[in-house]
């Protein structure tokens, strides 16, 4: 419950304006609960309407996306771009192609992106976009035609100094390539800095594919070291999901000495008590876009079960939810705690419901929220933008070293902020306040009200 009357009014206005946007309400309330600890010390926030501005996007673009399927039939989807806040840099955030995409989900993602991007220390604002188009089951030609139609409209709203999209769920290297190709044709210019997550042949960065998963593990390792004098070494890890984030979190956790025993997709999960054979997962998911259940047919001693949430019944020391938002509710969190976990770090965006976070923190688990823990992807996207501006490419090792430093700094900035506001070790509070302060200082300095 919010104590500040000012914050109560702000949240009430958010809910009243868009009563159906539950995911957005959830994201806003979490941040306002953190700001409750500091808002009374900053009367300038209310005097200048700063938080009212902070929770309202600067711009929402909505458009139709007509495209022709392989049968020659015209299909029409909806496209969106939420340009949320550009106080510290051009809008930056991914594009999501998934049937569940709507304004509530994109606003929650864009809002989280403001704070996540601020925490990286790099000059990038917050945005998100996408479409209710589902690339699953579509041919390459259908995906290409959709992407070309989508970019035809989006191109007028973006630019390397205005808004730089990237990938997200449903938008990988294939989709980024088609989007970039259409932008280049429309603009008649090779503006490499307009999209990130590009292929290496046309301006992409080494380590970008691995960045979110690697970054998740770098921050988790620093959290374990500084708060528990511990590490991944010898730990059992469960990772939900089997996309890029999960795959490369599995790789890095294994390199750091852990044993990953379970992964999942939207249908179900695999359990391999001997440790996940990542080469098999990569072949299934990156090689031919298959289903995770194939793993059990190929690896002796492993099992598959339907229902992706069942993965959290498997005991582990460290839980890395990397699938989707709100996958862990209060009951699942109790199971994770009961089974002996010591740490949870979010690789997906907002995978833990508020009651789940409460269970983790009440039990004394280390908990790293998504806006801090999964910031490695956008951080490396910003490094890709830097390389594009310089017409230069760093080595994998150079990018990886910069990523590791950024993630360790994010942990310390969040931890230090939690100490300063009297909530030592609460990284949810620390990440929210550290990210917010940088943005709001820029807003006040620029007269953005």
Matching residue, tokens 């914050």: 7
d(CA 116, CA 109): 10
Any residues with CB less than 8 A from the CB of 386 and at least 6 apart, and which?
none
Specify the pairing of strand 268-271 against strand 259-264.
antiparallel
Q: Which of 281, 208, 219 has the alpha carbon at shortest distance from 250? A: 281
Burial 263-273 (b: 16+ CB within 10 A, else e): bbbeebbbbbe
Catalytic residue status for 128: yes
The residue from 92, 107, 128, 371 that is catalytic is 128
> How far are the Cα atoms of 51, 108, 394 from residue 259, in angstroms, in the given order?
43, 33, 31
Matching residue, tokens 């996958």: 327
Radius of gyration of the chain (CA): 21
SS (H, E, C) 86-146: CCCCCEEEEEEECCCCCHHHHHHHHHHHHHHHHHCCCCCCEEEEEECCCCCCCCHHHHHHH
E strands, 156-293, in order: 163-166, 236-240, 259-264, 268-271
Helices assigned H by DSSP within 303-375: 330-338, 354-362, 370-373
As given in the structure block, the two tokens for residue 343 are 């740490």
Q: Is the dihedral of CA 150, 156, 160, 161 positive or negative?
A: negative
Catalytic positions, written as ranges:
128
């Amino acid at each position: 419950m919010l104590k500040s009357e000012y914050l109560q009014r702000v949240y009430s206005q958010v809910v009243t304006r868009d009563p159906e946007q539950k995911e957005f309400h959830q994201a806003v309330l979490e941040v306002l609960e953190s700001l409750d600890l500091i808002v009374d010390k900053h009367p300038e926030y209310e005097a200048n309407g700063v938080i009212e501005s902070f929770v309202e996007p600067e711009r929402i673009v909505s458009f139709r996306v007509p495209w022709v399927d392989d049968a020659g039939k015209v299909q029409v989807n909806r496209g969106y771009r939420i340009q949320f806040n550009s106080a510290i840099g051009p809008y930056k955030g991914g594009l999501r192609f998934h049937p569940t995409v709507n304004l509530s989900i994109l606003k929650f993602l864009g809002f989280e992106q403001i704070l996540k991007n601020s925490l990286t220390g790099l000059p990038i604002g917050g945005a998100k976009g996408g479409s209710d188009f589902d690339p699953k089951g579509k041919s390459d030609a259908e995906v290409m035609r959709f992407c070309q139609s989508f970019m035809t409209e989006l191109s007028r709203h973006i630019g390397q100094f205005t808004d730089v999209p990237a990938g997200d769920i449903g938008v990988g290297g294939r989709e980024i390539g088609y989007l970039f190709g259409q932008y280049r044709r429309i603009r008649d210019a090779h503006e490499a800095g307009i999209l990130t997550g590009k292929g290496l042949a046309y301006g992409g960065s080494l380590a970008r594919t691995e960045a979110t998963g690697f970054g998740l593990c770098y921050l988790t390792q620093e959290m374990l070291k500084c708060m528990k004098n511990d590490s991944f070494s010898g730990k059992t890890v469960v990772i939900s999901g089997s996309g890029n984030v999960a795959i490369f979190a599995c790789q890095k956790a294994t390199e750091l000495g852990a044993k990953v025993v379970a992964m999942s997709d939207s249908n179900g999960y695999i359990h391999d008590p001997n440790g996940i054979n990542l080469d098999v997962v990569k072949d299934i998911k990156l090689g031919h876009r298959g289903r995770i259940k194939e793993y059990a047919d190929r690896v002796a001693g492993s099992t598959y079960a339907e229902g992706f949430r069942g993965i959290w019944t498997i005991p582990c020391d460290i839980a890395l939810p990397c699938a989707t938002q709100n996958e862990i509710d209060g009951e699942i969190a109790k199971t994770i705690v009961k089974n002996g976990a010591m740490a949870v770090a979010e690789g997906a965006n907002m995978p833990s419901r508020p009651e789940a976070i409460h269970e983790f923190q009440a039990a004394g688990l280390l908990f790293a929220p998504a806006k801090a823990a999964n910031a490695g992807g956008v951080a490396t996207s910003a490094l890709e933008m830097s390389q594009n501006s310089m017409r230069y490419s760093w080595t994998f090792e150079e990018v990886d070293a910069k990523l590791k430093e950024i993630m360790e700094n994010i942990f310390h900035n969040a931890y230090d902020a939690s100490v300063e506001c009297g909530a030592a070790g609460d990284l949810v509070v620390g990440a929210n306040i550290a990210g917010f302060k940088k943005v709001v200082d820029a807003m006040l300095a620029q007269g953005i009200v």
